[in-house]
Structure 1
Amino acid sequence: MELSRWVPGVQAVRTYQPAWLPRDLVAGIVLTTLLVPQGMAYAELAGLPPITGLYTSMVCLLAYAVFGPSRVLVLGPDSSLGPMIATVLVGAIGVGATPEESVGLAATLALMVGVMLLVAGFAKLGFLADLLSHPTQVGYLNGIALTILIGQLPKLLGFSADGDGLLAETADLVRGIADGRVVMEAVAVGGFGLAVIVVLSRLLPKVPGVLIAVVLSTLAVSVFDLAVQVVGPLPQGLPAPALPSASLEDLGLLAVGAFGITVVSLTDTISTASAFAARTGQEVRGNQEMIGIGAANVAASFLQGFPVSTSGSRTAVAQQAGARSQLTGVVGAVAIGVLLLVAPDLLKNLPQPTLAAVVIAAALSLADLPAMASLWRRRRVEFWLAVAAFLGVAVLGVLPGMGVAVILSVLNVFRRVWWPYQAVLGRADGLNGFHDTSVHPSAALLPGLVLFRFDAPLIFANVRVFRERLRAFARDVPDLRWIIIAAEPITDVDTTAADVLDELDRELNAAGISLVFAEMKHPVHEKIDRYRLTRVIDPAHFFPTIDDAVAAYRRETGATWHQPS
């Protein structure tokens, strides 16, 4: 039982149903038609030889089948990770590095990502996925999509561009078009491939549009001898195990890049796993997912691979093809191995513009303009957060943009705690309980009483806002005698807030005003006792409900409800 907990593949073998076998075999073959061209294309997007994409796809599928908990998720090279990997490699060894240097660094990066994911999984740190809020994730992915699009367009048009960063790449693209470097055969082949992929994905999503585009483009180059760059023959055989290699001075940059890739991988994995688990009735085991993907990255690092993540598009293809278990991924991995052993020349005439079309189609699927429009309609603050994350990627680059997105997500949480919603409550006609007077301006009030709600924990960041609001009540409300705090939303009181409450209660008492709490949670009340605040705040001024507190005030003062003037 303990072994199957940490190695879900054991339990998957024990519970496998023979009736699933035909569906898994068919789904595995269908999946292979997507794994091969996408794996090669995303390897080039990451600045690596195309063959490494096949090695990576094969190894990570096998490792996840052993350690991954989901029956349906498909791992592999990912379009959102490609630009991040390329940025790290260029930053470490420059543009003119040899393939061997790039592969060694990419393998080290995969090892770091794998170790970080394993540590996160064993330490139950799934909350790291929350470092990217939805609005910042939307903006970040839109920025990634634009970066990929601009970076791949020159290849689609038949020429190369050497710019570093979105602005420089855009300038090179415009300059290349203006100088007449566009190759019309490349435009025709790449444009055709892109049209096939996009149209079929929209109209006939079950038809493997990527496979059709690859087959037809390869045949066109072979038959008509078109003047376009091709992939060339692939090395025959399986990858040889090798230790990841990197110099000591590169480890710092690799670690920063690995952390960013880990956060994106976590976010993709949790969201994709949740979406497909809801469809299939499974439960998401977030910590084991991190262990499964971490193991896949570690395995890839020792076989000339690079960092991987889950893929929503490939998972959807596998599910639509009838996949029932991770045997689908195993079949895909074996099929890639057979291709490398038996027919490595099969894809030698695959046009580079078609690989660019595959990547551009993936970039278009990353972009989510409707989500931006929805944020604009629903909450302008979060729309501008998404715009800031987008500009961070577009202007600063992929890794700095990732940092901007994470910082903005954290600051947005801090902003909500720093300036929480506050409300004065009253009794509205026809409604039970007490309600916000800004929503119900005719709600009845009691003379000499303010019923106040503060919708956040009381901590160092916001306690001064809380204090100044209560001081304003003491200054502006005539004949004020009690301030009742509706404390149910206050989930914590830290030591800084406790010191301020001590000072504030003494100040209010000197003015003849009592500070009263209602509906305070028991763990928070325990902290109040531990801080010994009840030496200052009267223990009798803590009530289980707002009704009890209001009733006590009315007994003491004889006040009656009245409508505001």
Structure 2
Amino acid sequence: MVAGGQVVDVPPPDGRLRSRVPVPPPRSFLRTAGEGLRETLFPDDPFRAVAREPAGRRRALAVLRYVFPCLEWLPSYSSADLRSDLVSGLTVASLAVPQGISYARLAGLDPVVGLCEYIPDHSSFVPSLVYTVLGSSRDVAVGTMSVGSLLFASMLGPAASPATDPALYARLAFTATFFAGVFQAGLGVLRLGFLVDFLSHAAVVGFMGGAATVVCLQQLRGFLGLHHFTHATDIPAVLGSVFSQSGQWQWQPFVLGCCLFLFLQITRYISKRRSKLFWVSAAAPLVSVILSTVLVYLIKGEKHGIQTIGSVKQGINPPSFKSLLFSSPHTWLAAKTGIITGIISLAEGSAVARSFAMAKNYHVDGNKEMIAFGAMNMAGSCTSCYLTAGPFSRSTVNRDAGCRSPASNAVMALAVLATLLFLTPLFRHTPQVALSAIIASAMLGVVDLRAAARLARVDRVDLCVCLGTFLGVVLGSIDVGLAVAVAVLVLRVLLSVARPRTTALGKIPGTAAYRRVDQYAMAEPTPGVLVLRVDAPICFANASYLRERIARWITDEEDRVVGSGAGAAAAAPLRCVVLDMGAMASIDSCGTKMVEDLKRSLNKRGLQIALANPGSEIMRKLDKSKVLQLIGDEWVFLTVAEACDYAQSNCKVGTASPGAAAAASPDEMV
């Protein structure tokens, strides 16, 4: 018997002693719910360092170190660390300046169309300082994202054109950035970062690949010198816009753009072949901007069909918190844009931070990163900045340059500040096609063909998710692609819950192990016993399916016995069904009712049911629901081997156990 939650040996009918599975002592609902909530929200026990400190000043300092991660590395910061961060910060800044202007144009924040009062590469300045204080990753370099910029243009463009109403468009962009920051910080504060993980790697690969394809095609505007272009993001619309203006194509910017693009790709190839030459590809965008600017200035490129970005205001912009729209008809659009772009930027930024931390063997708190991203976007929205995150390209350069702390972001911010104060007039003659070449070159690195090939080898379902998301982006829109990704992933999760795997187990000769018969050819069925394993919790979503599926397993086994014929080769008739519950993490009230119904159904067929290796939660709920009493304590076992041995010794064809017969009503018996 089971007494007080302790294991007690009970003499079964055959006189042998067996181990028993205990029913855990009752626990209060509040305690159980509290432990579940703690495991959900605090799986990494983030406050352990705070709890270890004695109450008082030391604990207060530990709290400050937790809130402001910079206090963890500043006390031990050395001159060698400063030298490394200076080199990496300046290297990233050489990439950030041209890339920041390029991505701002992609987002519609373009000085040419009248946004001279909004300096696009501010987004590499203020947010970088915020991340230096709040960020926990040593390698992440803060900056704008190509996909986020494209999302801004595609989602906000229909409400306010950057060409006809640039002021409203800029206000919408700042408002969307604010909402993105609130959403990101909220997820971090509430410890809900695990929600971002539902956007699987396969979906992110397909989404980023589709967005990169669309971004590359949109750069045909700069390569061909077109003045008007569609705001749509699907391939048919983009190509239609290109070919409908074939009479306006200019060969001069096309030749210049191809040369710059080839130069950027060659430098990228050199850096990949020789890791010590990482700075070659990092400095290439700035070099291409300088060379093309000088060339256009000398040959007066504007007279030859080469468009330039025009004047860019010098200096620091005033605060923009008064520009945020909270009572506008477009507020909901800005909020939706902020949430969607916030999710995408979090997915990329978190993945970058975690992968680099694993490579360097240090820990990154994902929820802290979300708070840092949210804080820098909220601060950025009030200082004329739009969406920023931790893009892979900049972070890779930052890591390869030897950064040792988030202080490299502060160095980059100061370098960008110097550019804003003194160097912006030099960009007046920078050709737009140079920015298009920079964007197109960067986007080729976003298309991860190796990841797609790996999905094809490892998991075809993930490949379908990837391809579905990709096609949704390139043939529909960014919104459609994201909706396809979420819908397919939700459907896959629901199917895995509603249709769990059930497998038959057999004994490995010479051992007490029972394994899947479809995986292990040497696994032998136990005569008269059908062993089944359910590889999922039993809940309301799958209880009916599992009842029907187990019944089908039993029918198939009985048909196999009948088909074996008579004589020495005949299979033993089925006497017992053993459920291996080792992979079953939990069970709800519908699950206990399913087990009860299964027991009664087997009684009618003259079969016995046995449970092997049930967990503590399952035993507790089976006991409270009286299902354990219906089955009989003597039919619950520690292992499948014990269950099979006992069933072969104590089950007879066409009869249930004495305990079960007493528990079942007379009309349920055979």
Whether these two folds match at TM > 0.5 is yes
Confirm or deny: 8 A CA contact 1:163 1:172 kept in the other structure: no
Match of 1:487 among 557, 581, 590: 581
Match of 1:34?
A: 95
Confirm or deny: 8 A CA contact 1:77 1:307 kept in the other structure: yes
Q: SS of 2:530's equivalent?
A: strand
Q: Which runs of 5+ in 2 are unaligned?
A: 1-60, 112-117, 272-277, 559-572, 654-670
CA distance in 2, matches of 1:349, 1:95: 21
Confirm or deny: 8 A CA contact 2:224 2:250 kept in the other structure: yes
Aligned residues: 557
Alpha-carbon distance, 1:58 to partner: 0.6
Q: SS of 1:92's equivalent?
A: coil
1:222 and 2:290 aligned: no
Please identify, of 413-422 and 303-312, the stretch whose mean Cα deviation from structure 2 is larger: 413-422
Match of 1:250?
A: 330
1:323 and 2:417 aligned: no
Match of 2:230?
A: 162
Match of 1:446?
A: 526
CA distance in 2, matches of 1:42, 1:430: 66
CA displacement 1:244-279 (0-9 Å, x = unmatched): 422432222222222222221221122101111123
Alpha-carbon distance, 1:4 to partner: 1.9
CA distance in 2, matches of 1:390, 1:274: 24
Q: SS of 2:338's equivalent?
A: helix
Alpha-carbon distance, 1:222 to partner: 1.3
CA distance in 2, matches of 1:543, 1:92: 66
Match of 2:279 among 201, 206, 216: 206
2:136 corresponds to which letter in structure 1?
A: P
1:128 and 2:203 aligned: no
CA distance in 2, matches of 1:543, 1:97: 75
1:60 and 2:127 aligned: yes
Confirm or deny: 8 A CA contact 1:260 1:403 kept in the other structure: no
Confirm or deny: 8 A CA contact 2:180 2:342 kept in the other structure: yes
TM-score by length of 2: 0.80
Confirm or deny: 8 A CA contact 1:257 1:399 kept in the other structure: no
Question: Cα RMSD between the aligned structures?
Answer: 2.0
1:241 corresponds to which letter in structure 2?
A: P
Match of 1:307?
A: 387
Confirm or deny: 8 A CA contact 1:150 1:173 kept in the other structure: no
Match of 2:258?
A: 191
Matches within 5 A, 1:482-561: 482-557=576-651
Matches within 5 A, 1:12-27: 12-27=73-88
CA distance in 2, matches of 1:168, 1:209: 32
TM-score by length of 1: 0.94
Q: SS of 1:515's equivalent?
A: strand
CA displacement 1:294-326 (0-9 Å, x = unmatched): 111011000111111111211121222222222
Match of 2:22?
A: none
Match of 2:311 among 230, 233, 242: 233
Confirm or deny: 8 A CA contact 1:87 1:399 kept in the other structure: no
Match of 1:563?
A: none
Q: What is the aligned-residue identity percentage?
A: 29
1:146 corresponds to which letter in structure 2?
A: T
CA displacement 1:353-404 (0-9 Å, x = unmatched): 1111111112211112232222223222221121111111122211231122
CA distance in 2, matches of 1:335, 1:95: 28
1:245 corresponds to which letter in structure 2?
A: L
Alpha-carbon distance, 1:43 to partner: 0.9
Alpha-carbon distance, 1:486 to partner: 1.0
2:220 corresponds to which letter in structure 1?
A: L
> Structure 1 residues 548 and 358, CA, compared in 2 at 3 Å: closer, same or farther?
same
Matches within 5 A, 1:221-300: 221-226=296-301, 227=304, 228-243=306-321, 244-246=323-325, 247-300=327-380
Match of 2:243 among 161, 174, 195: 174
Alpha-carbon distance, 1:95 to partner: 6.2
Alpha-carbon distance, 1:46 to partner: 1.1
CA distance in 2, matches of 1:52, 1:162: 24
Confirm or deny: 8 A CA contact 1:424 1:453 kept in the other structure: yes
2:299 corresponds to which letter in structure 1?
A: F
CA distance in 1, matches of 2:409, 2:552: 64
CA distance in 2, matches of 1:100, 1:430: 79
1:206 corresponds to which letter in structure 2?
A: W
Q: Which has the larger radius of gyration?
A: 2
Confirm or deny: 8 A CA contact 2:465 2:488 kept in the other structure: yes
Confirm or deny: 8 A CA contact 2:119 2:313 kept in the other structure: no
Please identify, of 281-290 and 206-215, the stretch whose mean Cα deviation from structure 2 is larger: 206-215
1:174 corresponds to which letter in structure 2?
A: F
CA distance in 1, matches of 2:373, 2:552: 54
Confirm or deny: 8 A CA contact 2:608 2:651 kept in the other structure: no
> Structure 1 residues 519 and 97, CA, compared in 2 at 3 Å: closer, same or farther?
farther
- Higher relative CO (CA 8 A, sep ≥ 6), structure 1 or 2? 1
CA displacement 1:479-537 (0-9 Å, x = unmatched): 42211111111112122222222222212122222222111121232232343322433
Q: SS of 1:310's equivalent?
A: coil
> Structure 1 residues 169 and 25, CA, compared in 2 at 3 Å: closer, same or farther?
same
1:216 corresponds to which letter in structure 2?
A: L
CA distance in 1, matches of 2:371, 2:173: 20
Confirm or deny: 8 A CA contact 2:108 2:162 kept in the other structure: no
Q: SS of 2:340's equivalent?
A: helix
CA distance in 2, matches of 1:429, 1:389: 47
